[in-house]
Amino acid sequence: MKKVYFLLLMLIFLFLVVSCGKKEENSKEEITVKEEIKETVLETDKEEIDLPVDPDDYFKLVTFELPDDFRKAAVEYMRKQSSIAWTPEKTFKTGRQNENWGFELTYEEGKVYTGLLYSTRKASVDEFQLTLAKNGGKYTSEKYDYSFPLGVECNTSITHSLQQFTNAVTGKAETLMPSYADLFGGVVVGEYTVPDGVRQTAKIISANTPEVMYQAYSQLDVGDIIITKDEDKKVNHLRMIVEKPVVVTTASGKINPNRSYVVTIEQTDTFDKTRTDGVNTTWWVDHQYTLSKLLEKNYVPVSVEAYRTGVGVVPYIGLDTEITAGILEKGTLTGTITSNYPIRFIHINLYKKDGTLVSNVVYNGEFDTRKVNLRKYASDIFTDGMTEGEYTLEVLAGVSRGYAEIAKVNFIYG
């Protein structure tokens, strides 16, 4: 009887050891069963919601842990975007001109630049770093117009930072415009009135007294946003707050807007000429703006619900069906990649046995693309010049929070 009791105790001890050892230190984790998904969701101190998918519906499902501190994570990602050092492979210009706004930037060969380029390409940090790694730290591009180089604008840089924990904002400035009730993915900071449907933040400002707006600015916190927008002129700008506002009051207790200020980080269309450290960047980091200047430029303060509730949405990337060697041997491709966040990129790479890159497809997601069928890219991967032999197909997919190897398959072609 004592032996049975001893064996029972040993089994319980082994079960506890195995249970405590399941947590992974890696920020990415491949999930194959429902119990593990639940465990991943509970790995942070937050009260995250569960994944709205059934793992049995996917051949491969990858989740990404949420950050412990949402506000800190948003600012850290902005700083990460602003601090990547790179060099152009050759001198190029990028720009745009229209009736109400325009810019032109020149990036010189051999010169070191810091921060993602100013571009509408909606690139994540991961994709830019992968691209640099392939080219020895130098950036090269097939085209250099405003929409092609890997980079971000003011709005996409901020929404990518917020997408570390929430999918309520997509990358379009409209999702942070409080008067667009059907599109707004944030919350208002302060007690200011928002007329429904107005297309300019100036009309939101005019619907309130300056004192109401100053009070609203004073309630901003780390990771919150200020936005100015004129939809009719197709111009807008967004900045992220990096520390609590400095608020100076008069003897009567009123806010002094000329001495009170916020500190921000922002992606711009202009190199920061105020820097004296030799850094070449379009990122304006830790700039100060007085509350009176914010009012003058029609900025309104907004935030996201996740900051208040501490509830985030665990990002996942899934592949619905297996990409097998038998499928690839025929020169075909199958499978659909799905995410609950905007898919920032998919890279499909085909290598020879010796590691030589034969062909590749680079897909950059639109603002809110969450499903991509891979089948249509077969003709771009399996080119007419392919010969018989051994190959490896690699599929990488990423959201703003991270990326994963979705498939890696060895096969014999022909």
Task: Report residues of the chain scoring pLDDT below 50.
Answer: 1-49
Count other C-beta atoms under 10 Å from residue 187's C-beta.
15
Residues 6+ apart with CB under 8 A from 66: 44, 46, 48, 164, 165, 312, 314
The CA distance from 73 to 66, in Å, is 9
User: What pLDDT shows up at residue 50?
Assistant: 61
Q: What is the pLDDT of residues 305-358, one digit of tens each?
A: 999 999 999 999 999 999 999 999 999 999 999 999 999 999 999 999 999 999
Residues 366, 240, 220: CA angle, nearest 5 degrees:
130
- Is residue 87 within 8 A of residue 111, CB to CB? The reply is yes
Q: Which residue has the tokens 């919601």?
A: 49
User: What pLDDT shows up at residue 143?
Assistant: 65
User: What pLDDT shows up at residue 146?
Assistant: 73
Q: Which residue has the tokens 């700083």?
A: 79
For the chain, the C-alpha Rg in angstroms (whole number) is 25
Task: Give the dihedral sign, CA 7/11/17/21.
Answer: positive
DSSP per-residue letters across 206-250: HTS-HHHHHHHHHT--TT-EEEEEETTTTEEEEEEE-SPPB--B-
In three-state secondary structure terms, 189 is coil
Structure letter (DSSP) for residue 105: E
User: What pLDDT shows up at residue 6?
Assistant: 40
User: What pLDDT shows up at residue 334?
Assistant: 96
pTM attached to this predicted model: 0.86
The CA distance from 327 to 25, in Å, is 35
The CA distance from 167 to 341, in Å, is 6
Backbone angles phi, psi at 364, to 5 degrees: -110, 120
User: What pLDDT shows up at residue 168?
Assistant: 95
User: What pLDDT shows up at residue 8?
Assistant: 40
Q: Dig out the tokens for 259 from the structure.
A: 């001495």
